[in-house]
Amino acid sequence: MIKVGIIGSTGYAGAEIVRLIQGHKEAEVVWYGSRSYIDENYSNIYGNFFELVDAKCMDDNMDELAKKADVIFTATPQGLCASLVNEDILSKTRIIDLSADFRLKDVSVYEKWYKIEHKAPQYIEEAVYGLCEINRDKVKNARIVANPGCYTTCSILTAYPLIKEGLIDTDTLIVDALSGVSGAGRGAKVANLYCEVNESAKPYGVASHRHTPEIEEQLSYAAGKEMVINFTPHLVPMNRGILATEYASLTMKDGSLPTKEDIRAAYEKYYKNEKFIRLLPDGVYPETRWVEGSNFVDIGFKIDERTKRVIMMGTIDNLVKGAAGQAVQNMNIMFGLDETMGLSMVPLFP
């Protein structure tokens, strides 16, 4: 059995890791870390684990945890993982970090967008960006995996094949994305109160959201050149889900624009054998309700003949494929297991 430690186990993403590991045949949680609830029964915090988890919350002592766990998930705010990790810890265990501490390769970009000093820049270069469908070969032997963000996972996977195949003009890419409220975390914030969110939708982080450089960096690798995009996130009154709608001008090739057959062929080239990416039929578009509670990514597209643009649409559950599910998928890759282990649940509906 893979011994799992979780720091930040009482946040939404941490609790989702606990839920997924409960259904995993080859892993067990040995450390429920939570700075806010030390010595409290885990099932008292999340009643859905009543009579399923008989353990108390522990602290975030990563040095001690490294002696007990084969892998540590850090589902914590930016800065904590980088402040705790060291060579002694990495000699004993492997880390899957759900924060942004090791996602960006340029420390100055990280510090600019996240407004904090990076405490472990020496590990940035070796850390692997854990977007499983693109970097699984690098994930296998990684000591540190930087688990991608929810907006970024959805936005990157939705556009990646078309950028990789040169079917769209990368200078024209615009990403509009909607998120459920759980994406903001479990902390008490006025902006996330029921009366503030219900019956409303709003853009936020306009031209300034900190997932922007992460999307740009990863898509730049696909394009083979630096990319700059417009990314606008929106908060909508639902618990879970990300829906990304992306727009880009089609690129002329051999005197003609790509057809819908060309677009579909590009998606199938990269995703045909991907168990968690579902390319929808023509005329069917992604809906958050059809991926809720699952590790699936649903993708659809439409060519707008009038504007000569393609509209790409993708949806995920922000807490599963956008956080905990992808983290468990990364763990499966790291330990040579079937990627679907613990992740084969059918989406919830209603």
**Which residues form the catalytic set?**
150
Q: Which residues contact 221 (CB under 8 A, 6 or more apart)?
A: none
Specify the DSSP class assigned to residue 251.
P
Roughly how many angstroms between the first and final C-alpha of the chain, as a whole number? 34
| Helix (H) or strand (E) segment spanning residue 109 | helix 107-114
The b/e string for 127-165 (b: 16+ C-beta within 10 A; e otherwise) is bbbbbbbbbbeebeebbbbbbbbbbbbbbbbbbbbbbbb
In this structure, the strands spanning 309-316 and 230-235 are unpaired
Tokens for 80, please give them: 């904590």
Separation of alpha carbons 62 and 125, rounded Å: 21
State whether residue 144 is helix, strand or coil. strand
Ramachandran angles phi, psi of 279, nearest 5° = -85, 115
CB of 246 closer than 8 Å to CB of 311: yes
Chain-centroid distance of CA 204 in Å reads 19
Closest by CA to 124, choosing from 150, 151, 142, 149, is: 142
Closest by CA to 37, choosing from 20, 53, 23, is: 53
Closest by CA to 119, choosing from 144, 84, 148, 95, is: 84
State whether residue 106 is helix, strand or coil. coil
